[in-house]
Amino acid sequence: MSRKDYSFFQSVEDYFDKAASSTNLPSGLLKQIKACNAVYQMRFPVKMGNDYHVIEAYRVQHSHHRLPTKGGIRYAMSVNQDEVMALAALMSYKCAIVDVPFGGAKGGVKINPKEYTPRQLQKITRRYTTELIRKNFIGPGIDVPAPDYGTGSREMAWILDTYQTFKNGEIDAAGCVTGKPVNQSGIQGRTEATGRGVFYGLKQCLSYADDMKKLGLTTGTEGKTMAIQGLGNVGYHTASISQKEGGVNLISVSEYEGAIYNKDGIDIDALMKHRKETGSIMDFPGSKNLKHRDLVLEVDCDILVPAALEQVIHGGNAKNVKAKIIAEAANGPITPDAEAILLDKGILILPDMYINAGGVTVSYFEWLKNLSHMRFGRMEKRFDSNAYSNLVDLVERTTGKQVLKKERLLLTKGADEVDLVRSGLEETMITSYGQIRDIWKRNKKVNDVRSAAFVSAIKKIGNDYVSLGIFP
Ligand code: GLU
């Protein structure tokens, strides 16, 4: 089946059904977990010069089992109701998997942001936010948007400002949106969070010797070959952190204009510089150009990272994929029929709802920061630092030896906000993978990581519905 024949929401439901059959939950409860609770479709006019553009936009709240609901806002021409519903559903499962206490939501505005000036984009964003306020679809305890494909911290700042204009005096207003600029109630480490989460998740997966043996791989990230589709926020940070902190050998990269390959490795920072100077990743010194950008998906590598849009690996190209592990940094990059082919080939797929959950995890930290009205680390940084210092003094006194100045600095450092964010994110990715892997290894009916992730999510959401007293 080619990707056009697949409803994205239907694919998510197919994956859900496959996994749900290995839980013992009653069918009524499963139906409730699966359903989209609220779909808000809007059209609003925005004056552009002498003309009016009527913009089509959505906000979908998939599940109200926990509030607020949470999920990004996408600006793209591909936006339609089916896509936003699918992405909102994935958010519910994603939040459950990483124990972020939110329901799932997603927004979409059907525009090509490259065709508008920043001023026009601001107008569209403010109007969209106003529509959300009007229908009570935004608020720190209601529904909290964030960046997604085509949006970033700039748009989030506009959303916050619009919200505050209407909700003057609301003390927790800053928590109405996450992914904001750090100087506007954002949090350190949010921009890189999804990519960093992908790296931590991969590192954890690669640490299990028996799983790696089955794939013919050694443990650890060092020297593993990687191909990445898409150098947006998620793709770029995944590449950069995997290369710098994990020693990964990045051999192939694709972007809108094409794909390149170099078996000896592509220096991601040098490539970004080249793209800035020439406007393209093509003809990067030392690398060869691939014939077509989608060939990045078919490169022989250890780890393939689709980090662009959904349904890029489908029935038509799945058989050509040669990677041993696929990390779904994008949401929904593999259609169910493609997945069957890939699993048959013995490929390990780390599903979107786990591997790209770093973004929403750090969004949760940002929201908590907004509600506490204080940055992380402010209370304990100096206290910890002094305590460590006393300890080092004691060691020095009792041993009669002095540690080096460099070592003292390292040993006595109190945690800054970014240290705590990274630590919380790493802890989340490790713990969640443990839970998923446990289901994958112990439940005889579960044969792949995506189904295990779904089972983990379904059970947690199911428990929430039961404790709410909605289901017996
Ligand atoms: N758009 C991101 C995602 O798909 C982040 C959502 C959020 O932080 O709420 O997971």
258-261 β-sheet, strand order: 288-289, 258-261, 249-255, 225-229, 303-306, 325-327, 348-350
Alpha helices in 347-416 (DSSP H): 352-355, 358-372, 381-399, 405-411
Could you tell me the CA-to-CA distances from 43 to 59, 77, 250 in Å, in that order? Answer: 12, 15, 43
pLDDT at 6 (0 to 100): 76
How far is the centre of ligand 1, averaged over its atoms, from the C-alpha of 237 (Å)? 15
Does the Cβ of 70 fall within 6 Å of ligand 1?
yes
pLDDT at 468 (0 to 100): 85
Task: Give the span between the Cα atoms of 358 and 194, in whole angstroms.
Answer: 4
Does the Cβ of 359 fall within 6 Å of ligand 1?
yes
How far is the centre of ligand 1, averaged over its atoms, from the C-alpha of 161 (Å)? 20
Does the Cβ of 123 fall within 6 Å of ligand 1?
no
pLDDT at 186 (0 to 100): 98
Does the Cβ of 191 fall within 6 Å of ligand 1?
no
Ligand 1: atom nearest CA of 331 is 4
Task: Give the span between the Cα atoms of 262 and 266, in whole angstroms.
Answer: 6
pLDDT at 2 (0 to 100): 52
State the CB neighbour count (10 A cutoff) for residue 133: 19
Ligand 1: atom nearest CA of 73 is 1
Rounded to 10 degrees, what is the CA torsion of 280, 284, 290, 292?
0
Q: For the chain (length 472 residues), average pLDDT per consecutive 10? A: 73 95 93 97 92 96 97 97 98 98 98 95 98 98 97 98 97 98 98 98 98 98 98 97 98 97 98 97 98 98 96 96 98 96 98 98 98 97 98 97 96 97 98 98 96 98 90 76
Q: Which stretches does DSSP call E strand in 62-142?
A: 69-75, 103-109
Does the Cβ of 188 fall within 6 Å of ligand 1?
no
Mutate which of 8, 67, 87, 91 for ligand 1? The one with the most ligand atoms within 8 Å of its CB, which is 91
Which residue has tokens 């003057």?
Answer: 168
What are the backbone angles phi and psi of residue 144, rounded to the nearest 5°? Answer: -125, 100
Does the Cβ of 107 fall within 6 Å of ligand 1?
no
Does the Cβ of 331 fall within 6 Å of ligand 1?
yes
Per-residue pLDDT tens over the stretch 386-398: 999 999 999 999 9
Which residue has tokens 């490169």?
Answer: 299
* 288: annotated active-site residue: no
The amino acid occupying position 154 is R
pLDDT at 5 (0 to 100): 67
Q: Which stretches does DSSP call E strand in 21-102?
A: 38-48, 51-61, 69-75
How far is the centre of ligand 1, averaged over its atoms, from the C-alpha of 100 (Å)? 12
Mutate which of 148, 178, 328, 354 for ligand 1? The one with the most ligand atoms within 8 Å of its CB, which is 148
How far is the centre of ligand 1, averaged over its atoms, from the C-alpha of 359 (Å)? 5
pLDDT at 44 (0 to 100): 96
Evaluate whether 114 touches 39 at the Cβ level (below 8 Å): no
Evaluate whether 450 touches 351 at the Cβ level (below 8 Å): yes
Which residue of the set 18, 70, 106, 123 is catalytic? 106
User: How is residue 407 written in tokens?
Assistant: 């070592």
Domains in the chain, please, with CATH?
1-35+192-380+415-472 (3.40.50.720), 38-186 (3.40.50.10860)
3-state secondary structure of 32: helix
Contacts of 151 (CB under 8 A, 6+ apart): 72, 73, 74, 75, 113
User: Of 361, 343, 375, 360, which is closest to residue 446 (Cα–Cα)?
Assistant: 343
User: Of 240, 149, 150, which is closest to residue 195 (Cα–Cα)?
Assistant: 240
Output the residue whose Cα is nearest ligand 1's atom 8: 360
pLDDT at 469 (0 to 100): 83
Evaluate whether 219 touches 207 at the Cβ level (below 8 Å): yes
The amino acid occupying position 213 is K
User: Of 237, 423, 261, which is closest to residue 327 (Cα–Cα)?
Assistant: 237
Contacts of 190 (CB under 8 A, 6+ apart): 153, 178, 179, 182, 359, 362, 363, 366, 421
Q: At what angle do helices 449-467 and 27-34 cross, to 10 degrees?
A: 100
Could you tell me the CA-to-CA distances from 126 to 80, 104, 110, 119 in Å, in that order? Answer: 20, 23, 15, 11
3-state secondary structure of 160: helix
Task: Give the span between the Cα atoms of 405 and 93, in whole angstroms.
Answer: 47
Does the Cβ of 71 fall within 6 Å of ligand 1?
yes
Does the Cβ of 332 fall within 6 Å of ligand 1?
no
* Residues comprising the chain, all counted: 472
Task: Give the span between the Cα atoms of 445 and 465, in whole angstroms.
Answer: 24
Contacts of 380 (CB under 8 A, 6+ apart): 414, 415
Task: Give the span between the Cα atoms of 131 and 18, in whole angstroms.
Answer: 37
Evaluate whether 297 touches 335 at the Cβ level (below 8 Å): no
Contacts of 410 (CB under 8 A, 6+ apart): none
pLDDT at 49 (0 to 100): 85
Output the residue whose Cα is nearest ligand 1's atom 7: 360
The amino acid occupying position 281 is I
Q: For residue 138, what is the DSSP state?
A: -
User: Of 354, 32, 34, 1, which is closest to residue 200 (Cα–Cα)?
Assistant: 354
pLDDT at 4 (0 to 100): 54
Does the Cβ of 347 fall within 6 Å of ligand 1?
no
Ligand 1: atom nearest CA of 71 is 9
The amino acid occupying position 13 is E
If you average pLDDT over every residue of the chain, what do you get? Answer: 96
Output the residue whose Cα is nearest ligand 1's atom 9: 71
Q: For residue 112, what is the DSSP state?
A: -
Task: Give the span between the Cα atoms of 124 and 133, in whole angstroms.
Answer: 14
Evaluate whether 122 touches 158 at the Cβ level (below 8 Å): yes
How do 225-229 and 38-48 pair as beta strands? unpaired
pLDDT at 472 (0 to 100): 73
